[in-house]
Chain A
Amino acid sequence: MHVMIINGSPRVKKFSNTDMILKEFTKGMCENGTTFEQYEVSDREQWDDIRNAFISNQNILIALPLYVECIPGLLLEFLETLEPKNDGSKMAFILQSGFAEGIQLRCGEAYLEILAGKLGCEYMGTLVKGDNFSIRFMEGKQKERITVPYAAMGREFSACGNFRSEKCKKFTGPEIFPAPVRLLVRLVFNTLAKKSFARISEGLGCTRPLDYRPYS
């Protein structure tokens, strides 16, 4: 199988969490001979090439971050330039987000099925996973803990050609956190997470509190 992959993140490749996920996913996907070509929607100079690849490929995978419950505006802008295929092509998606619970991505996932139909492709499912916000700020083992599990999903996709298996469904994790876990996570939000965000913020040169109100 040869897969055409579109990284639908509007963030430049260097800082793209979606790209870091794809790096691990494609490692697993290619273990048994599957090949791929990857394009970046964030680079408008690639748009003609992406359109041509969309026409000439039968297996299409779009990886994207959730933006306000659906697909990012830039990806939508690109996709609006495509003609529906209606040639038996297959389309699958990797949908990732910052929020950790599966329920946060279901509205976006529902649109991706509609989208595949509008683009004249057979919908092959969506790999859904949150808790990815901090990948780009991480290094080494901490980062690998989040990204490396995607390699197993790459192997699964290569074997099945879709994301419909139980393994893929389980990969999402909990739909919502149980109440005791929410209490614990809330504590982390108010302590460790705040410190971590403050550290990242200072590293970026920020001198204001993160809840600063510039317009009031």
Chain B
Amino acid sequence: MVLIVNTTSDTSVTDELKKSLENRAAETEFIEAAPLKISHCIGCNHCWLKTPGECAIKDDYEIILKRIIHAEQLWVISDTALGFIDYKGKNIFDRIIPIMTMYLTFVGDQMRHVPRYEQKTDMGLIILGEADKDYLKRWIERAALNMGSRSLGVFERNELKEAVSCM
């Protein structure tokens, strides 16, 4: 399943993606996150140590978390700020950590958290503003590596066709 989370209020992007993907065999799910209540991660670590796998913040992020664990791909559509994705986009990634456990191992020569689920979710970005794209590519590769998955790349608003070709 391909999960596409739109953290922006621009639904024309998801409309366009839906059209492009309607004849595709792969199952696709869209979540419009802009109207949802999604807090930042507060770093309590309860998802690792007190209520394993469950976030202590009871808000709409649970909808996303429950779908991520079944997704082969997670695409986050985000506005940009300060050369990066904006805080709403970043919160989607920060809140993902319940899919990892507190346990640690080495993968190659670096420490990693042991994944909680078997499903590995590759991750891609669609950005709707200016950002340091080279940095974002590096960042999403690194973030994916930490989740035991792969980066699907970083695409701008005018590169949706290229993004779709990776879905």
Contact surface of A with B, Cβ cutoff 8 Å: 9-12, 15, 42, 65, 67-74, 76-77, 79-80, 99-101, 103-104, 107, 110-111, 114-115, 117-119, 176-177, 179, 182, 185-186, 189, 193-194, 197, 200-201, 204-206, 208-216
- By the criterion CB–CB under 8 Å, are A197 and B84 in contact? no
Partner of A211, one of B111, B114, B135: B114
- By the criterion CB–CB under 8 Å, are B106 and A215 in contact? no
Closest to B90 in A: A73
- By the criterion CB–CB under 8 Å, are B49 and A206 in contact? yes
CB distance from B66 to the nearest CB of A (A): 5
Docked pose: A84 CA to B44 CA in angstroms? 31
Closest 8 A/B residue pairs (Cβ)? A77-B87, A11-B43, A73-B91, A73-B40, A74-B40, A76-B87, A212-B52, A204-B50
- By the criterion CB–CB under 8 Å, are A210 and B103 in contact? yes
Asked whether any CB of chain A lies closer than 8 Å to the CB of B42, the reply is yes
- Which B residues touch A205, using CB under 8 A? 50
28 CB < 8 A contacts A-B: A10-B40, A15-B44, A67-B41, A68-B90, A68-B93, A68-B96, A70-B90, A72-B41, A73-B91, A73-B94, A74-B42, A76-B86, A80-B82, A103-B110, A111-B139, A115-B82, A115-B83, A176-B109, A179-B109, A186-B106, A189-B105, A194-B103, A200-B49, A201-B49, A201-B52, A206-B52, A210-B101, A213-B116
- By the criterion CB–CB under 8 Å, are B40 and A72 in contact? yes
CB distance from A13 to the nearest CB of B (A): 12
Closest to A106 in B: B142
Docked pose: A194 CA to B101 CA in angstroms? 11
Q: A10-B41, A114-B132, A213-B116 are known contacts. Are A189 and B87 too (CB-CB below 8 A)?
A: no
Give the interface SS of chain B, mostly helix, strand, loop or mixed: mixed
- By the criterion CB–CB under 8 Å, are A72 and B82 in contact? no
- Which A residues touch B46, using CB under 8 A? 204
Partner of A68, one of B44, B48, B81, B143: B143
Asked whether any CB of chain A lies closer than 8 Å to the CB of B14, the reply is no
CB distance from B113 to the nearest CB of A (A): 9
- By the criterion CB–CB under 8 Å, are A182 and B106 in contact? yes
CB distance from B73 to the nearest CB of A (A): 17
Partner of B69, one of A65, A103, A177, A215: A215
- Which B residues touch A107, using CB under 8 A? 138-139, 142
Q: A68-B146, A73-B91, A111-B135 are known contacts. Are A209 and B82 too (CB-CB below 8 A)?
A: no
Q: Which residues 17-64 in B have Cβ within 8 Å of A in the complex? A: 40-44, 46, 48-54
- By the criterion CB–CB under 8 Å, are B139 and A73 in contact? no
- By the criterion CB–CB under 8 Å, are A197 and B106 in contact? no
- By the criterion CB–CB under 8 Å, are B103 and A211 in contact? yes
CB distance from A48 to the nearest CB of B (A): 18
CB distance from B90 to the nearest CB of A (A): 4
- Which A residues touch B44, using CB under 8 A? 11, 15
- By the criterion CB–CB under 8 Å, are A101 and B48 in contact? no
CB distance from A97 to the nearest CB of B (A): 10
Docked pose: A179 CA to B110 CA in angstroms? 10
Docked pose: A200 CA to B102 CA in angstroms? 11
